Structure 1
Amino acid sequence: MKKFLYILVFFTILSSCNEYQKALKSEDIATKFKMGEELYNEGKFSKANKLFAQIVPGYRGKPQAEKLMYLYSLSFYEMKDYYLAGYQCERFADSYPQSEKIEEVSFIGAKSYYMLSPVYTKDQKDTKEAIEKLQGFINLFPNSEYTSEANTLLQELDYKLELKAYSIAKQYNHLSDYEPSIKAFDNFIFDFPGSKLLEDALFYKLDSAYKLAINSVEYKKQNRLEAAKSYADAFLKRYSGSEYIEEVNNMVSVIDEQLTNFTNISTAKI
């Protein structure tokens, strides 16, 4: 019985493959469309896509073209070909702005750009483009059933940019390149004032300012110590229960001691 079932399945698959090959070679665009739609519904997106690609020119201007382009565009997304999915979905939206599928296709197009966004350690050009596309979708369809998911994806991309900016600033700190580190953290704080990384950013900005001051030449040291002290006071006022509190207090002790030395030197000169 099992042997019979295996044979039956084998011939069913073989027959299906033969039908697909015939459809590929056929000059009848209706046959290709019908089989392509069946394959799409069965989840065989790559095969469906090949058939659709053959008949897109033949259906241009025809009533069935909208449905064909809908399936064709989404087949790229299902195949994880996100570059072409984004492009084809945008073409569909431009060609059929009144379509009942416009929200779905526009969202899938924007989401395709999200899928292209790399890890935060890499260049974030694609991430910025994805943010633009998703925000554009939200602006066009604020009440769409897809808006909630679009907002979630947008938040993930925003956080990725936060991580990128934060990691660059922190890397300067680790490399003992303190002035660029302070500037990079200032930019981060300005660009992401509500970031969950704000406490860490303010601490490492202080850390950079402190190390820059302590290791400065004498004629620059006092001003840099005073700047570091102002950062420390601001940090302690804002994060009195921080995990960094002991380190900050140690910095403040050293800063106060060294500033006292400058005060004593000034008094002695008088």
Structure 2
Amino acid sequence: MFLQMMKKAILLVAVLTLTVSCGEYQTLLKSDDAGAKYTYAEELYNEAQEENSKKKYRKALRLFEQIVPQYRGKPQGEKLSFLFANTYYQLGDFYLSSYEFERFQQSYPNSDKLEEAAYKKARSFYELSPRYDLDQTDTHKAIAELQAYLNTYPEGEHAEAANDMAAELRIKLERKEYEIAKQYHLTGEARAGNYQAAITSFTNFLSNNPGSPFREDAQYYRFDSAYQLAVNSFRELMQERLEQALEYSQEYKKYYPEGEYSEAVEASTEDIKSRLQNF
């Protein structure tokens, strides 16, 4: 009986505390007291960090949004601007976090939070980078920002993470370029001109991405595009195209003598040599 009464009392106190807290917060939202809003918003922010609470970050953000303009250029403005940007970041609103971190960098170029702001701005663009098959504007921006961070802080706290993210994003761009070329190859049977487009695209890809994980695939599909183009050509064009395909075959075998596509390349190469004997 006593324990039940204690539990009810504790619950009642918690409810009353929450009610008072919510009432205080709502009153502050309508208040013109910027100092009180600053103090309470910072308390909410610190609690949100300790508890990893999205709810408290959102509550702090509403107060920050009201007072940030009033503190620009004032001594408290530097800290407030960083907390404001980082709140967006913690809430996953990466468009606004990237914007606010950029604004912080421009406004406070001597801040001791400058490195963290540069990294989180770059990380924001990294988080905005879409699937490889979509527009990659944010991916290019993220790579540029990550590289800017690495150039400025080569031994920085987040240098390893920044390098890893930049490498991941470059592979994403390579995949997009590779998949475009491969699509030309896959549609070549329906439209012969696409085989030529595939050859050109794969050649450009190999030139632009010497260390790509898609390099062997690109070598093979360039060869196969050339082979398919040759064997489906008019006779007057066939010899030259067979010889070109043979060159691509030799290049594949040079770099990948025991590669994934070795058997397919060898079979097609034998067919090319057989056909060339007729010329």
Q: Normalised by the size of structure 2, how large is the TM-score?
A: 0.91
Partner of 1:37: 42
Partner of 1:266: none
More displaced stretch, 236-245 vs 152-161: 236-245
More displaced stretch, 43-52 vs 158-167: 43-52
Q: Structure 2: how far apart are the matches of 1:6 and 1:154?
A: 50
Superposition pairs of residues 74-93 of structure 1, within 5 angstroms: 74-93=86-105
Partner of 2:195: 178
SS in 2 for 1:42: helix
CA deviation after TM superposition for structure 1 residue 23, in Å: 1.3
CA deviation after TM superposition for structure 1 residue 234, in Å: 1.2
Q: Structure 1: how far apart are the matches of 2:96 and 2:71?
A: 20
Deviations 1:47-89 (A, max 9, x none): 1111011111221221111110010111111111111111110
Alignment partner of 1:13 is 2:18: yes
One-letter amino acid of the structure 1 residue matched with residue 147 of structure 2: Q
Deviations 1:186-239 (A, max 9, x none): 111111101111111100110111101111111111110000000001111211
CA deviation after TM superposition for structure 1 residue 46, in Å: 1.4
- Which consecutive unaligned segments of at least 5 residues does structure 1 have? 263-270
Superposition pairs of residues 181-196 of structure 1, within 5 angstroms: 181-196=198-213
Q: Normalised by the size of structure 1, how large is the TM-score?
A: 0.94
Alignment partner of 1:223 is 2:240: yes
Q: Structure 2: how far apart are the matches of 1:10 and 1:188?
A: 64
Partner of 1:71: 83
Aligned equivalent of 1:235, options 233, 248, 252: 252
One-letter amino acid of the structure 2 residue matched with residue 250 of structure 1: A
Superposition pairs of residues 203-218 of structure 1, within 5 angstroms: 203-218=220-235
CA deviation after TM superposition for structure 1 residue 96, in Å: 0.7
Q: Structure 1 residues 175, 4: CA separation in 2 closer, same or farther (over 3 Å shift)?
A: farther
Q: Structure 2: how far apart are the matches of 1:155 and 1:109?
A: 17
One-letter amino acid of the structure 2 residue matched with residue 39 of structure 1: L
Aligned equivalent of 1:124, options 111, 118, 136: 136
Q: Structure 2: how far apart are the matches of 1:109 and 1:41?
A: 21
Aligned equivalent of 2:60, options 35, 48, 60: 48
- Which consecutive unaligned segments of at least 5 residues does structure 2 have? 49-55, 189-193
Deviations 1:140-181 (A, max 9, x none): 111211111111110111010011011111111111121111
Q: Structure 2: how far apart are the matches of 1:60 and 1:226?
A: 69
Partner of 1:268: none
Deviations 1:85-144 (A, max 9, x none): 111101101111111111001110111111110010111111111111111111111121
Q: Structure 2: how far apart are the matches of 1:5 and 1:186?
A: 73
One-letter amino acid of the structure 2 residue matched with residue 167 of structure 1: E
Aligned equivalent of 1:249, options 254, 263, 266: 266
Partner of 2:276: 259
Q: Structure 2: how far apart are the matches of 1:245 and 1:128?
A: 35
* Residue identity (%): 46
Q: Structure 1: how far apart are the matches of 2:17 and 2:214?
A: 58
Superposition pairs of residues 131-210 of structure 1, within 5 angstroms: 131-176=143-188, 177-210=194-227
One-letter amino acid of the structure 2 residue matched with residue 66 of structure 1: E
Q: Structure 2: how far apart are the matches of 1:127 and 1:8?
A: 51
Q: Structure 1: how far apart are the matches of 2:223 and 2:111?
A: 55
CA deviation after TM superposition for structure 1 residue 42, in Å: 1.9
Q: What CA RMSD, in Å, does the superposition of the two structures yield over aligned residues?
A: 1.1
Q: Structure 2: how far apart are the matches of 1:23 and 1:16?
A: 11
Q: Structure 1: how far apart are the matches of 2:207 and 2:21?
A: 60
CA deviation after TM superposition for structure 1 residue 31, in Å: 0.5
SS in 2 for 1:97: coil
